[in-house]
């Protein structure tokens, strides 16, 4: 803008925005602060904000007493694994729809979208029974598969929108330059698609890490990721707030960081490109 906005305007807006941001973010902040308190301190009224005895004992306890690492590993395997498998299936699909579209491509895309709309709870019963009968309950493989299928529509869509943005004439130029389809894919398409692929991976990892329906219903301990682990704090014994906070901080920290880098991709992915 070529005009200077009045300073008063900027200051009011800034103050208001920071207040709003702080209020919204506060619960997270409060949780992190609580994780550094002792249990007694955490439960104390009036609550202390900054001036208390900061301790990292909860972080130590979380691993000792409740095997946090085991569940974190599960989260990593399930989130990472389901993303990887989804990408392997989805990249060719998105490629074909973006570059070799047919008359039915549009309908197929919309159908894929509609499969995401199916409420998980609608198929809870059969999936549970299938898992039980195939001994997939509380297995990482089982959860990996379900999450992969569950997020596949979003992955395909996101990749499709990114592939569509690659200018067609650059690919044609590579063909004129003598590249076969394979070499076109390797030397031209993939390098140009890397940012889109990376964004899709990031977003899918986040969605899979935070998934809290199938993980809660299809796993108990062996394969339980962090979502389930934290849920176990809903019926605890004794004082547990500080431990809950520590466990939670550890559980959300990586995703919070990842999420901050994927804001734009989030918009694209979750609105199926309807808003860009």
Partner 1 sequence: MGSISLQDVRKTFGSHVVIPGANLQIEDGSFVVFVGPSGCGKTTLLRMIAGLEDVSSGRILIDGANVVDVPPAKRGLSMVFQSYALYPHMSVRGNIAFGLKMAGLPRPEIDRKVDAAAAILNLTSYLDRKPRELSGGQRQRVAIGRAIVREPKAFLFDEPLSNLDAALRVQMRQEVTRLQRQLKTTAIYVTHDQVEAMTMADRIVVLNAGSIEQYGTPLELYERPANLFVAGFIGSPRMNMIERETEQHQGAATIGIRPEHMTVSRDGAGWSGIVRAAEHLGSDTFLYVDTPDIGSITVRCVGELGLGEGDSVRLRPDPARVHRFDKSGTAMR
Partner 2 sequence: MATQQGRTLGRLMLSPTIILLFIWMIVPLAMTIYFSTLNYNLLNPGMENFAGLDNYYYFLTDPSFLAAFRNTLVLVGSVLAITVVFGILIALLLDQPILGRNVVRLMVIGPFFIMPTVSALVWKNLLMHPVSGLFAWIATSIGLQPIDWFAEAPMLAIILIVSWQWLPFATLILLTALQSLDAEQREAAEMDGARSLSTFLYITLPHLARPITVVILIETIFLLSVFADIFVTTGGGPGLQTTNIAFLIYSQALMHYDVGTASAGGLVAVVIANILAFFLVRIVGRNLEA
- Residues 21-50 within binding reach of partner 2 (CB under 8 A): 21-22, 24-25, 27-28, 30-31, 34, 42-47
SS3 for the chain, per residue? Answer: CCCCCCHHHHHHHHHHHHHHHHHHHHHHHHHHHHHCCCHHHHHCCCCCCCCCCCCCHHHHHHHHHHCHHHHHHHHHHHHHHHHHHHHHHHHHHHHHHHHCCCCCHHHHHHHHHHHHCCCHHHHHHHHHHHHHHCCCCCCHHHHHHHHHHHHHHHHHHHHHHHHHCCCHHHHHHHHHCCCCHHHHHHHHHHHHHHHHHHHHHHHHHHHHHCCCCHHHHHCCCCCCCHHHHHHHHHCCCCCCHHHHHHHHHHHHHHHHHHHHHCHHHHHHHHCCCCCC
Residue 183 binding target from partner 1, partner 2, none, CB below 5 to 8 Å by type: partner 1
Q: Which is nearer to partner 1, 87 or 189 (CB)?
A: 189
Residue from 75, 151, 174, 219 binding partner 1 (CB under 8 A): 174
Residue from 95, 164, 183, 216 binding partner 1 (CB under 8 A): 183
Residue 102 binding partner 1, by CB under 8 A: no
Least gap, CB of 27 to partner 2 (angstroms): 6
Residue 187 binding target from partner 1, partner 2, none, CB below 5 to 8 Å by type: partner 1
Residue 134 binding partner 2, by CB under 8 A: no
Residue from 36, 68, 163, 209 binding partner 2 (CB under 8 A): 209
Residue 119 binding partner 1, by CB under 8 A: no
Residue 180 binding target from partner 1, partner 2, none, CB below 5 to 8 Å by type: partner 1
Residues of this chain that interact with partner 1 (CB under 8 A) are 167, 169-170, 172-180, 183, 187-188, 191-192
């Amino acid at each position: 803008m070529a005009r200077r906005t009045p300073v008063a305007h900027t200051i009011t807006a800034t103050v208001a925005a920071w207040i709003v941001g702080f209020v919204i973010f506060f619960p997270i902040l409060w949780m992190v602060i609580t994780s550094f308190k002792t249990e007694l301190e955490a439960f104390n009224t009036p609550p202390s904000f900054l001036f208390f005895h900061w301790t990292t004992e909860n972080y130590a306890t979380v691993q000792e007493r409740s095997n946090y690492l085991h569940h974190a590993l599960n989260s990593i395997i399930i989130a990472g694994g389901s993303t990887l498998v989804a990408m392997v299936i989805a990249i060719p699909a998105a490629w074909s729809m973006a570059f070799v579209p047919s008359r039915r491509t549009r309908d197929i895309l919309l159908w894929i979208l509609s499969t995401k709309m199916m409420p998980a709870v609608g198929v809870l019963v059969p999936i549970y029974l299938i898992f039980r009968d195939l001994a997939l309950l509380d297995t990482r493989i089982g959860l990996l598969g379900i999450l992969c299928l569950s997020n596949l529509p979003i992955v395909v869509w996101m990749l499709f929108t990114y592939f569509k943005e690659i200018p067609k004439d650059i690919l044609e130029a590579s063909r004129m330059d003598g590249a076969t389809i394979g070499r076109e894919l390797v030397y031209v398409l993939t390098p140009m698609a890397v940012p889109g692929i990376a964004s899709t991976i990031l977003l899918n990892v986040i969605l899979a890490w935070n998934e809290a329906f199938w993980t809660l219903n299809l796993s108990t301990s062996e394969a339980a990721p962090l979502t389930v682990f934290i849920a176990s704090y809903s019926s605890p014994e004794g004082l547990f707030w500080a431990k809950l906070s520590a466990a939670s901080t550890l559980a959300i920290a990586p995703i919070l960081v990842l999420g901050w880098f994927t804001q734009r991709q989030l918009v694209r992915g979750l609105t199926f490109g309807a808003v860009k």
